[in-house]
Amino acid sequence: MKKVVKFGGSSLADTHQFEKVGAIVRAETSRRFVVPSAPGKRSKDDTKVTDMLYACYALAEQGKDFKEELDRIRDRYQQIVDGLGLKLSLEPEFAKIEENFRARAGKDYAASRGEYLNAILMSNYLGFAFVDAAEVVLFGEDGEFDAQKTNEVLAERLKNMPNAVIPGFYGSNPDGSIRTFSRGGSDITGSIVAKAVKADVYENWTDVSGFMIADPRIIPDPEKIDMITYRELRELSYMGASVLHEEAIFPVRSEGIPINIRNTNQPDDEGTWIVESTCQRSQFVITGIAGKKGFCSVNIEKDKMNSEIGFGRRVLQAFEDNGISFEHVPSGIDTMTVFVHQDAFVNKEQKVVSALHRLADPDMIDIEADLALIAVVGRGMKSTRGTAARIFAALAHKNINIRMIDQGSSELNIIIGVHNEDFEEAIRAIYNMFVLVQL
């Protein structure tokens, strides 16, 4: 058994959390490769180290004195070093960071130092080898992650190592400069490492015991998801579920490596398993509910639209020409509705309207703002009759008007459009119908 284990920022926020992580790694010899994030918040009002580094570098960019801010970051790490009783000095690293900040090494470099320092600390604490991600996680000239080259270099580097710590979140450009993934990118690094070493399991340790069926900020103490497929997770992540970075799925998916979301503070919990496919039925018809506010719909009507070849392409071209991506495009015989992010659309709406008239010559265009989209996802929906009817009934019972419904051909998800003001109540209504009411 070979495991890659990634620990989030909350799992590594202070000495006590480091000790928990150490106990978890040492509990199983199969946990051979560790990917740490930067220290997160120690309390609600605390600041993440990554945000401290951004603020510190901003001062450096402005030519201002940043010593006090850098000292605060140094103190965060020193508290952990002292608390663990390590014979380790990070002074040479901080001297190098100060030098590179003065040389304007870039925001990506600044942000990456949290993971870099934490990995040095972790490798010292565990007695594992340290492998700098800048040497093994590679980006191309175009700034895109080079998956093939990274896999080759990383696999070669780690193949004879019994254990190693690889910092998450960053890699390097062809010129050697540092480049980071988007926020939460340590999840991606863990997945990349799991693929390279052909791990049996990729464990992703955080501060929750897996995925919940719905957002706990909306549903108090929601039920946990025991097992979810990659496809279900993609749908939920895209619509706002944020326990795992959505791009972390792809490297392990290609190798059939399962992901296990675990809780550092409750290590005995089984957590949530993310798998390619499973014969196990989910406890409920639905696997999860997630959604986002802030959409608007552009409804285009034209008689005999369905018989006009190229009409849909011309409509979408109006959005493309203005740099706006679309979310969903439900349509009827004489109508076509395009859902877009309101923030991206609002300042370009009249340009889009003009382009629509020029390209598609519609009979009417109607725009509706302040909409929310909710995804109801579940592999069990395909084999269960009446799922959509139950959703309609749940929302009707709460007097919630449905502005759109869209179901993909896979029958894996149903997208519901409602007004922003009905968003939370709609999620509660759907949750109650499928989780609290068992047929």
Helices 186-196 and 147-158 sit at what angle, rounded to 10 degrees?
Answer: 60
CATH superfamily entry for domain 3-275: Acetylglutamate kinase-like (3.40.1160.10)
The pair phi, psi for residue 178, each rounded to 5°, is: -80, 140
Q: pLDDT tier at 427 (50, 70, 90 boundaries)?
A: very high
Query: 17 pairs with which residues across the strands?
Result: none
Instruction: Count how many Cα atoms sit within 13 Å of the Cα of residue 17 in the half-sphere of its side chain.
Output: 25
Buried residues in 282-298 as b, exposed as e (16+ CB within 10 A): bbbbbbbbbbbbebbbb
Mean pLDDT of the region 388-403: 92
Q: Is the pLDDT of residue 382 over 90?
A: no
Domain residue spans of the chain? 3-275, 288-436
Predicted TM-score (pTM) of this structure: 0.86
Q: Which residue has the higher pLDDT, 435 or 239?
A: 435
In this prediction, residue 271 carries a pLDDT of: 93
Q: Is the pLDDT of residue 438 over 60?
A: no
Lookup: tokens for 208: 């929750």
Radius of gyration of the chain (CA): 24
What count of other Cβ atoms lies within 10 Å of the Cβ of residue 17?
21
Strand 201-206 with 3-7, pairing: parallel
DSSP 363: S
426 CB contacts (<8 Å, ≥6 apart)? 291, 372, 374, 395, 398, 400, 416, 418
Q: Which two tokens stand for residue 397?
A: 């019972």
DSSP for residue 307: G
pLDDT at 410: 65
Q: Which two tokens stand for residue 324?
A: 């706006």
Say what the pLDDT of residue 409 is: 63
Report the pLDDT averaged over residues 154-179: 96
CATH classification (class only), 288-436: alpha beta
Q: What angle do CA 243, 248, 252 make, to 5 degrees?
A: 125
pLDDT at 352: 96
Alpha-carbon span 423 to 388, nearest angstrom: 18
Lowest mean pLDDT among 166-175, 202-211, 234-243: 234-243
Residue 434 near residue 390 (C-beta atoms within 8 A):
yes
Tell me what the pLDDT averaged over the chain comes to.
92
- pLDDT value at position 67? 94
Q: What is the pLDDT of residues 72-89, one digit of tens each?
A: 999 999 999 999 999 999
Judge contact between 255 and 203, C-beta under 8 A.
no
pLDDT at 195: 97
Provide the token pair at 236.
């939920």
pLDDT digits (tens, 9 = 90+) for 83-141: 999 999 999 999 999 999 999 999 999 999 999 999 999 999 999 999 999 999 999 99
State the Cα–Cα distance between residues 62 and 389, nearest whole angstrom. Answer: 58
DSSP character string of 102-141: HTT--HHHHHHHHHHHHHHHHHHHHTPEE--HHHHSBB-T
